[in-house]
A and B are shown apart, each in its own frame.
Chain A
Amino acid sequence: MFYRLAGQFKSTYAADQQLFPIRQDRTFMVALALVAFVLVPMIANDYWLGAILIPFLILGLAALGLNILTGYTGQLSLGTAGFMAVGAFAAFNFILRVPGMPFLLALFLAGLTAALIGVVFGLPSVRIKGFYLAVATLAAQFFIEWVLTKYGWFSNHNPSGVITAQAIEIAGKRFDTPLSKYLLTLSIVTALALAAKNLARTQTGRFWMAVRDMDLAAEVIGIDITRTKLVAFAVSSFYCGVAGALWAYAYLGSVEPQAFTLDRSFQILFMIIIGGVGTVMGAFIGAAFIVLLPIALNVTAHALLPGVSSDLTSNLELVIFGGLIVFFLAVEPHGLARLWQIGKEKLRLWPFPH
């Protein structure tokens, strides 16, 4: 009834090329922003902010990074967590070793460092494809983990390899409460999500998708696929690097390389499979799903079977995640984001069936 396209005619290409061409979508996005920036800070408590919303946003950002590489460009990576680790340790060292380093600049440089490493490990993509490349990205995952653990310099010679994030200070203002960290994270994630959306609708994004859909044809129509793939690796790793730095600074406060293992890479891969491969929205829907599912599972299990062991629930979690992955790949390869799309299409026609 309210989700109608009637009367919305585009008279310029500019209007047709907008970020959200449909008026109701724009309204929805504004409402979402209002909720996230205004309503949530008013009602959420520290537990929700610090233990659910912040990790959700950061993992969503990492999933977005992976989605750029895997969903948009079609290059499967299993090294996401490795690039996050690069970001976290780079931010730590920039702030530690450069006097007066502003936090946001350190965050940006951390992203750039991860991008650089990403390009190095993306180089094999020039010659190899598919799961051969996936295996190559595993090399990145293991190598980065190993280097950060073995060379004390990266953790400022902490005996257990742990880095403790310095206090966040931007323009003289300290960000030390869950609420302020949430707002900081939210702002950064929003900005980067919009940038990703812009990339996806311009020539950069078209080249990515062209390489994903048919790389040989892309080459023949004049797209430099080497460059396109490496740009995707760089942008993807930049996003993951920023996410990793935020993981250390806005979420955990202190992290070790073991916070960024292969399991984390898989977790983020699952987010985009469940949320939706190749959409910005899907990364966040998937992140929400994967952050919330264990909590929901735990609550349900304890409500139904008091005294259930946490071992059992964590194994149940593995079984459910595994099952869901197969289910989504087989039944809805475009993930929850596609269901959201279908829902909107239905709504556009409601109350009529067609």
Chain B
Amino acid sequence: MRYPLPTLLAVLTFLAPSWAWADWPQFRGPNGNGSIAGNDKLPAELSKKTIAWKAPLPGRGLGSPIIVGDRVVVTAASGPEQNLLQVLCFSKSDGKELWRRSFWATGRTMCHAKTCVAAPTPTSDGKRIFALWSSNDLICLDLEGNLIWMRGLTLDYPNASNSLGMASSPIVVGDTLVAQIENDSESFAAGFDLVTGANKWKIDRPKTANWTTPVVLKSGGELIVALQSSKGVLGVQPATGSEIWNYSKGAATIPSGAVAGDTLYFPSKGLTAMRPGSGGGETKPLWNERAQNPATASPLIIDDKVYIINGTGVLSAASRETGERLWRIRLKGPFSGSPVASGNGHLYIFNEKGIGQVVDLSGEEGKVVSEIELGETIIGTASISGNALYIRSDETLWKFGLPR
């Protein structure tokens, strides 16, 4: 039997896991856990030799670059009060700026000096870019930079803001954009229509500042969005916001959870793992390991291990199965960004001083094998795609890759 090529490609695309796109479409990668398969030729050395290109940025930002096809997209905020919100699109191959769009913030832009208004990482469904800022301006552009829709969530919900700054990143799940707009006052999570930006659902959330990003896991055969907060983790249907399960024993409000398949590893009383079933109701943990205590950085999952970085800059590897610590090494901190990794057996992390560190994960314990000092503040997390690593500092977007 012969099939037309487009049909075959369509079927293969449908069957392929998300990482097969080779894109990095959201905060901490396609799986939301910091890792991406493949990318075996990602350089283990970060040095001048492996800087493929760098591009100047017009304003600060903490959000990671996302990679969509041949494009790298980052957000920024500029102006004395960070009122000018920007989306910048670069060519993946040479760093040329393809387009730039600027928007006037419609919400409050006050935030702590360490963070900034461009704190959330944008996301993409492969056809559109969705960008959120601390001002709660939510914007959808096509890949050419044409505006598809805009929401001013603080216009709609005037007390939805955090004077320290918002930082949760939106994610795309199916045909819904999910965002946690959680704060001390008008706190909510919502699902937005990808095409129109209209609310598909909106639910009240705990009235507590929360900077965590939602993650997606398989639960009872369907994709469920896990919304983490100080109260715990709530599993909801992405299309409706309906509650599927709940974990009510509390969780962190800065580091986010990480998912591997049907299991969620999240910061709660140290690190907790759980595998919610389809039965609904209160979910019990598989294990809890108090010694594994993520600070600002979110956990990284790769293969059979989960990696966390604590408040003193110690990187620990633990068994995904039991939570047992396997090894730990001290890195040069402090860290606000999270570690990332690919199939090349190395972990990448940048500290706040702009020092990038590469940890070889192949031995009995981790070993720092490369360092680079970029000379600019870095509060964000790197991205990986096409055997290259992307990181944004306060003023520059960097690409690392093996020389051609």
Please determine whether chains A and B interact with each other in the same assembly. no
